[in-house]
Structure 1
Amino acid sequence: MIEPLSLLTALLLGLFGSTHCLVMCGGIAAAIGSQAGERRLQTALAFNSGRILSYTLAGALVGALGLWLQGLHDDLMLWLRTLAAIMLILMGLYVARWSMLLTRFEQIGSHVWKRLQPLTGRFMRSTAIKDQLLLGMLWGWLPCGLIYSTLSWVAANGQPALGAAAMFAFGLGTLPALFASTMAGSLLSTLLNHRHIRALAGLLLIGYGLWTGWVVWVHP
């Protein structure tokens, strides 16, 4: 069953974590937008659609992994949900800029990215819409602590469909900032970077993480 609260949380994770996305992907988003010229809008849509498609696929895969672990032993899901609660708290601390511990998870996928990164070169030099879509799909696998932590939380649901939907919502949350970056906009990123907005978003995520942990251990 698709849980609206989970989808809302995923959307918030993407939206308020997108300042980190601007650090990781803002440069390429601005570069391909500048290169596209009059086709900047189509390029922005293609690149970001590719990213979100990869996030959705990853969500389905980790959801299936969680379902498989649940089939092996119920205790595995208990610990996976506990890990998800911890990840939510870490994401809240990261979004509020109270702790950068989350970024250390980016080292996990560095070996995979070394194999994928050379493939991005030819697509970055192309202005064809299909190549920008493929570039976005490749860029969706860029090592990112925010994405990995969200995937860990998604895996705890043990539902491939929910995992895909949650990561799609996460991708939609990251869309405004990166779309604005491609279109040479900066107002939204300035707003999201406001310390009061970051603090509020962080507290909401930390609260949801604490509630998740409480449900796991008090009402397993």
Structure 2
Amino acid sequence: MSEPLSVVTAFVLGLLGSAHCMGMCGGIAATIGLRQHQKRIDHLLGYNFGRVISYSIAGALVGSLGFLLKGEILGLALRTFAGLLLIAMGLYIAKWWQGLLQVEKLGGYAWHFIQPFAARLLPVESAKQAITLGFFWGWLPCGLVYSTLLWSATAQSASQSALLMLAFGVGTLPAMLLTGILAQQAQSLLANQYVRSISGLMVIVFGIYTIPFAGLQALL
């Protein structure tokens, strides 16, 4: 596997995108974390387990599509578009440009059908219920997830894309677990503009790194 598609970079991408995850999933994680201590930890872990599993399944699906679209030109085009989307995601995380909101709106149509099932699982009363809620919540329209999914699809392998999305999901865990346990403190940290700017800038650099400039020049 080429360096841009390593498990480590997928993990780092999830870690850097945590500031965005706070806004998308932090609220529900904080709500789950308001239960009594023992249940709170069980439910929070279950919720995040379900969420990460949904990312892995989505990765397997897009990886299968990538496999069907195998070809040098298509692969370069897919990686280029993924890189551009990651750059847009970095701008979004840093709050320098909010154009990616339009991409998230596209996923709103599917979420319209999924959301009622997720809503029935609240309030969470068991670890099993938390896992199911996390699985549904993992399909919430999210520009960061969409960007990473497209990036993982360039592996053109269902198993490899699933692994990359699993690593990405694990990268989001520190912030999400912290949010559930110390909601107010985590929100203050990740909402800090300095933190968001640094995270966004690093995602932008990663997006630029993803674009296969050498391959595009060879084709031209």
Report the TM range for the smaller structure's normalisation: 0.7 to 0.9
Deviation at 1:37, TM superposition (A): 5.0
1:161 aligns with: 159
Give the match's secondary structure for 1:101. coil
Deviation at 1:188, TM superposition (A): 4.3
> Which of 83, 90, 97 is the aligned partner of 1:92?
90
Give the match's secondary structure for 2:96. coil
Distance in 2 (alpha carbons) for counterparts of 1:173 and 1:186 = 21
Distance in 2 (alpha carbons) for counterparts of 1:79 and 1:4 = 15
Alignment of 1:11 with 2:11, yes or no, is yes
Deviation at 1:17, TM superposition (A): 1.6
Distance in 2 (alpha carbons) for counterparts of 1:195 and 1:215 = 34
Amino acid at match of 1:179: L
Question: Deviations for 1:105-144, whole angstroms, at most 9, x for unmatched residues?
Answer: 1112111111111111332134111111000000000111
Instruction: Kindly report which structure 2 residues correspond to 1:189-200, keeping only aligned pairs within 5 A, or say none.
Output: 189-200=187-198
* CA 164–24 in structure 1, closer or farther in 2 if over 3 Å, else same: same
1:40 aligns with: 40
1:145 aligns with: 143
TM-score under structure 1 normalisation? 0.87
Deviation at 1:155, TM superposition (A): 1.2
2:207 aligns with: 209
Amino acid at match of 1:77: G
Give the match's secondary structure for 2:34. helix
Q: Which runs of 5+ in 1 are unaligned?
A: none
Instruction: Kindly report which structure 2 residues correspond to 1:96-135, keeping only aligned pairs within 5 A, or say none.
Output: 96-135=94-133
2:24 aligns with: 24
Deviation at 1:41, TM superposition (A): 0.6
Give the match's secondary structure for 2:100. helix
Deviation at 1:40, TM superposition (A): 0.6
Between the two proteins, the alignment pairs up a number of residues equal to 218
* CA 4–218 in structure 1, closer or farther in 2 if over 3 Å, else same: closer
TM-score under structure 2 normalisation? 0.87
Distance in 1 (alpha carbons) for counterparts of 2:218 and 2:126 = 52
Amino acid at match of 1:158: Q
Distance in 1 (alpha carbons) for counterparts of 2:178 and 2:17 = 15
2:56 aligns with: 56
Deviation at 1:192, TM superposition (A): 3.9
Greater CA deviation, 191-200 or 113-122?
A: 191-200
% identical aligned pairs: 44
Task: Kindly indicate whether the alpha-carbon contact (under 8 Å) linking 2:17 and 2:199 is maintained by their aligned counterparts in 1.
Answer: no
Deviation at 1:205, TM superposition (A): 2.7
Give the match's secondary structure for 1:109. helix
* CA 216–88 in structure 1, closer or farther in 2 if over 3 Å, else same: farther
Question: Deviations for 1:22-61, whole angstroms, at most 9, x for unmatched residues?
Answer: 1111111111221455311111110000000000111111
Root-mean-square deviation over aligned CA pairs: 2.3
Task: Kindly indicate whether the alpha-carbon contact (under 8 Å) linking 1:16 and 1:95 is maintained by their aligned counterparts in 2.
Answer: no
Deviation at 1:74, TM superposition (A): 3.7
